[in-house]
Structure 1
Amino acid sequence: MKDTSDIGTPPPTADECLELAWTDAMLVGHGPIDAEHQEFVEVVNALANCSADTAAACLQDLEAHVHSHFAVEKAWMEKTDFPAADCHIDEHERVIDAVQKVNAKLLLGELGLQDIRRLAKALADWFPAHAAYMDSALSAWVNKKTYGGAPVVLRRDLHADQRHAEAGA
């Protein structure tokens, strides 16, 4: 049965937006990965702030992006024999699976706008830790294998408490 509970639901107000704000704290030090991450933030934000009329298109954009983005990372992992590739790829596959399932249910009329926004929130919650741990490790590995050293990451706009935490204090 079709969920019609949020038909006509307007886009979220500014207070309700689930913005995943791009900051330099998300940089991992490999330009192509950082560019993919900036695009990921953009498509997740578009999904989080979509309307009932734009939800399907935003979800399709997200699905296309995660397929492309994760394929690029997988290629780097394979090219450089990344030791943690299996774990990293498994996590990507779980995200792709979730996005595909939501997309299929939306197309069948089984989900509503609030379900789409829940997916966007889940991705916004998941992404920072994934980037900070898994993708930063991939970046360090790719840079070591490609350039012989660790990445240099210049971060702007960090608050004093973020700088203090990142310094390991």
Structure 2
Amino acid sequence: MLLGHAPIDDAHEEFVEVVMALRECTQQTAWVRLQAVEAHLLSHFATEHEWMKKTDFPAMECHLDEHQKVLDAVQQVNALAAVGDVGLTDVRRLAQALIDWFPGHADYMDSALSAWVNKKLHGGAPVVLRRDLRVETPAATL
């Protein structure tokens, strides 16, 4: 899910880390990990919002609406957890919903934002170099 804009790529890596930690939480660690997901989303989404405003991103409202829906869901689970109305199954269901949501959001919305920001700030499209890809070459013909 590398998009070629280091701050976005770093935020995505952190997103994966906090959501995977939430998915693997126990009853004892669920509250702390829910808080970590919410804190990450608040920071991540605020940073993207600033980039959108700074660069006059054309799809800003649509992108922000999606962020708000995700944040609302996480905050709702956190509010219920604070009063003991959420079980471990619910927390893991939230983690899975975030896991299911993220690739599509990154592929469509965040990739467009990355391309836009790179064009505005650097005058070109983002480039992602991957060292771990193997390229199959056909056998030489005689």
Give the distance between the partners of 1:58 and 1:37, measured in 2 at CA. 17
| 1:115 aligned residue | 90
Amino acid at match of 2:9: D
With structure 2 as the length reference, what TM-score do the two structures score? 0.92
The answer to whether structure 1 residue 105 and structure 2 residue 92 are counterparts is: no
Higher helix share: 2
| Structure 1 position 157, deviation (Å) | 3.9
Q: What is aligned with 2:38?
A: 63
Against the structure 1 CA distance between its residues 103 and 134, is the aligned structure 2 distance closer, same or farther, given a 3 Å change threshold? same
| Structure 2 match to 1:76 | 51
Cα contact 1:27–1:155 (8 A) shared by 2 = no
Runs of 4+ deviating beyond 2 Å: 155-160
> For 2:60, which of 85, 90, 97 is the aligned residue?
85
Q: Distance in 1 between matches of 2:89 and 2:66?
A: 24
Structure 2: which 5+ runs fail to align? 136-142
Q: Which residue of 1 aligns with 2:4?
A: 29
User: Could you tell me the percent identity over the aligned residues?
Assistant: 67
Structure 1 residue 158: Cα displacement: 5.1
Secondary structure of the residue that 1:152 maps to in structure 2? coil
How many residues in Structure 1 have an aligned counterpart in Structure 2? 135
Matches within 5 A, 1:128-143: 128-143=103-118
d(CA) in 1 for partners of 2:75, 2:51: 24
Give the alignment's TM-score, normalised by structure 1.
0.77
Query: AA paired with 1:86?
Result: E
Q: How far did residue 108 of structure 1 move?
A: 1.1
Tell me, in whole angstroms, the C-alpha distance in 1 between the residues paired with 2:105 and 2:133: 19
